[in-house]
Amino acid sequence: MPKVSIPFLFVVLMWCVHLVHFFWGIDFGFLGIQPRHFDSILGIICSPLIHGNWKHLFSNSFPLLILGVLLFLSYEKISIRVWCYNYLFTGIFVWVFARGNSYHIGASGIVYGLAAFLFFSGFFRMDIKAIAVASGVALFYGGMVWGVLPLEKGVSWESHLIGGIVGFVLAFVFRNHYKSIEIMAHEMEEKESKSFEKYLNNHS
C-alpha cells in the first residue's frame, strides 16, 4: 500500500465514525480530549476522528487530504514520521495545555500542523520545490492564521495554535533530513571528486 494513501484512509475513517454518530445517534464526544483528565488520555488518539457536525467534518476533510498528500509526495522519506509526530504531539500538548472545562475534538490540530510544517519547511530547506509547496500553502491556507486566536466560541483555538507550533518545530528538526536523492548524489559526487583530487595531489 503506498504511503500517500494514508491521508485518504484517515479521512475515510473520520467519515465512518461520523456516519455511525449520525445514523445510530452514538455520541463519541467522550473520546475527545479533556485536558489534564487521565480518563481522557485515549482522546489523544481518538479525538481527531470525532467531529461535532457535518460542517466541522467537511472543513477538516479537504485540507487534511490536500495537505496530507502534499506531505507524502513532497517529503516521502520522512512523511510517516512527520505525520505520526504531528498527530501524537499535538494531542499530547492539547491534553497538557488546553482549557480543561471542555472536550476538544476534530482533526484541525493535525491540519494546522501539516500546514505549518509544509510552509516553514520551504524557508528552512530553501530549494525551489519546497518554496513552491510553501507558497501554495500560504496562498490557499494563509487565512488559517486567524484560527490560532480565541475569536470564535466553541472552537478549539488551542488545538490550532499547538498544531501550528508542532508543525514549525518538526520543520526545523527535519530541516536537514529531507534532501532529495539528486541533491545527496550530487554532494556525494563532489566529496568523491575532492577526495580523488586530494589523492592525486598527495601522489604527484
- The predicted structure's pLDDT at residue 129: 84
Q: Which residue has the cell 500546514?
A: 115
121-175 pLDDT per residue, tens: 998 988 888 889 999 998 888 889 889 988 888 889 999 999 999 999 999 999 9
Least confident of 13-17, 62-66, 101-105, 127-131: 127-131
- State the pLDDT confidence band at 204, using cuts at 50, 70 and 90: low
Please list, in sequence order, all residues whose beta carbon lies within 8 angstroms of the beta carbon of residue 12, skipping any fewer than 6 positions away: none
Q: Does 188 have pLDDT greater than 80?
A: no
Q: Does 54 have pLDDT greater than 90?
A: yes
User: With the C-alpha atoms ordered 129, 130, 133, 135, is the resulting torsion angle positive or negative?
Assistant: negative
C-alpha cell at 49: 476522528
Least confident of 6-15, 97-106, 190-199: 190-199
Q: Does 184 have pLDDT greater than 60?
A: no
DSSP 1-67: --TTHHHHHHHHHHHHHHHHHHHH----GGGSB-TT-GGGTTHHHHGGG--SSHHHHHHHHHHHHHH
C-alpha cell at 77: 522519506
Angle between helices 108-125 and 128-141 (to 10 degrees): 140
CA 112, 3, 70, 98: dihedral to nearest 10 degrees?
A: 0
Per-residue pLDDT averaged across 100-126, rounded? 93
Per-residue pLDDT averaged across 170-186, rounded? 68
Per-residue pLDDT averaged across 86-90, rounded? 98
Task: Using a pLDDT cut of 70, give the percent of the chain over it.
Answer: 86
- The predicted structure's pLDDT at residue 140: 86
What are the respective helix, strand and coil percentages of the chain, to the nearest 5? 75, 0, 25
- The predicted structure's pLDDT at residue 182: 46
Q: List the domain boundaries for the chain.
A: 5-202
C-alpha cell at 29: 464526544
Residue type, 55: K
Domain 5-202 belongs in CATH node 1.20.1540.10: yes
- The predicted structure's pLDDT at residue 181: 42
Give the integer Cα–Cα distance in Å for 29 and 130.
Answer: 38
Q: Does 76 have pLDDT greater than 50?
A: yes
- The predicted structure's pLDDT at residue 177: 73
Q: Does 180 have pLDDT greater than 50?
A: no
Per-residue pLDDT averaged across 182-204, rounded? 54
Q: Does 93 have pLDDT greater than 90?
A: yes
